[in-house]
Amino acid sequence: MRDLKWTTDSDQVILSCRTATPCIFSMEVGNQTWVTKFILVGFPGSLSMRTAVFLMFLVSYVLTVTENMTIILLVQQNRPLHKPMYFFLANLSFLETWYISVTVPKLLFSFWSMSNSISFTHCMIQLYFFIALMCTECVLLAAMAYDRYVAICRPLHYPNIMSHGLCFRLALGSWGIGFGVSLAKIYFISRLSFCGPNIINHFFCDISPVLNLSCTDMSIAELVDFVLALVIFLFPLSITVLSYGCILTTVLRMPTGKQKAFSTCVSHLVVVTIFYSATIFMYARPRAIHAFNMNKVISIFYAIVTPALNPFIYCLRNREVKETLKKLSCYQATGST
């Protein structure tokens, strides 16, 4: 057992490291002790189990980044895909690439690191970008639903309504709203006091586990988080539901071509269902779901599995994307011979 103390004129930094427990990093200012680092528990276990989990996350990460970058390049390099639907799909792929990059690289590093600590500042930064990208995806999915509504319910006016300018503004608005809402959330969370313990039973800094470590009144932070969560989830969800309600009504009135019309929406509808199901389950109560192991399982689903599934869902159900991939494969095969 060992204790290390370092004292300055203005404050006292205490680093307590015990062989049986993780290191606890704190700073004593006056009579108040502040946590300066958190310990991410991650996925403890035997070496063989950790190796298997590491390989699973590594493959998922490489696969997700490759899939989404492929979609971005396909949309950018092929004129037949220069349409509003694929413009939003490229934005979603870009978002998913950063979404998984916020959590997984740190997780992969922690499997072989002697310390699973993360500083308070880095924890807030990770939480900020994770919330920002999640909120951005909410609004972006609503914009994609509106695009499908105009395409099916007002096809003759589609080119005029979904102009390049409107598409750009919808995409820019999605990113702006998502990062703005996240900034407000993080402002109130970062002002809370964390006096210890500093152990987060999770593999990244998520809202619920972080809030549970606060040792001061968090009612305002919880209220702000809950209200903003309702706004950022329910408003885009309402737009999505209304859009698909109109789409369903229009499709049912069509004398012919019902299956073809609705098939253009299936991929997006599946992605929306998966995203909102996992997200609402996790964040219905911001302070917290106390079954942290279940938290980790659900977090894996929406933070890692969903970004990996989305490109498959869109590509396998989309005729134009599949045809573009086939042409590209044939071109590469011809070029290599």
Classified as helix, coil or strand, 115 is: coil
Instruction: For residue range 85-120, list pLDDT tens digits in order.
Output: 999 999 999 999 999 999 999 888 888 776 788 888
Instruction: For residue range 206-264, list pLDDT tens digits in order.
Output: 888 888 888 888 888 889 988 998 899 889 999 999 999 999 999 888 888 778 777 77
- In a domain, residue 295? The reply is yes
Question: What's the rounded Cα separation, in Å, for the pair 119 and 292?
Answer: 21
Residues comprising the chain, all counted? 337
Q: φ and ψ at 216, to 5 degrees?
A: -120, 175
- In a domain, residue 56? The reply is yes
- In a domain, residue 281? The reply is yes
Which residue(s) pair with 15 in the sheet? 4, 25
Task: Count structural domains, the chain.
Answer: 1
Instruction: For residue range 273-323, list pLDDT tens digits in order.
Output: 888 887 777 665 444 444 556 677 778 887 888 888 888 887 766 777 777
Range of the domain at 284: 37-323
Helix (H) or strand (E) holding 331: helix 319-336
- Report which DSSP code applies to 213: T
Look up the pTM and report it.
0.82
- In a domain, residue 123? The reply is yes
Helix (H) or strand (E) holding 40: strand 37-40
- In a domain, residue 70? The reply is yes
- In a domain, residue 313? The reply is yes
Report the CATH number at residue 303: 1.20.1070.10
CA 41 to chain centroid: 20
pLDDT band at 268 (very low <50, low <70, confident <90, very high): confident
Strand order in the sheet with 21-29: 2-7, 12-18, 21-29, 32-35
Largest CA distance in the chain: 82
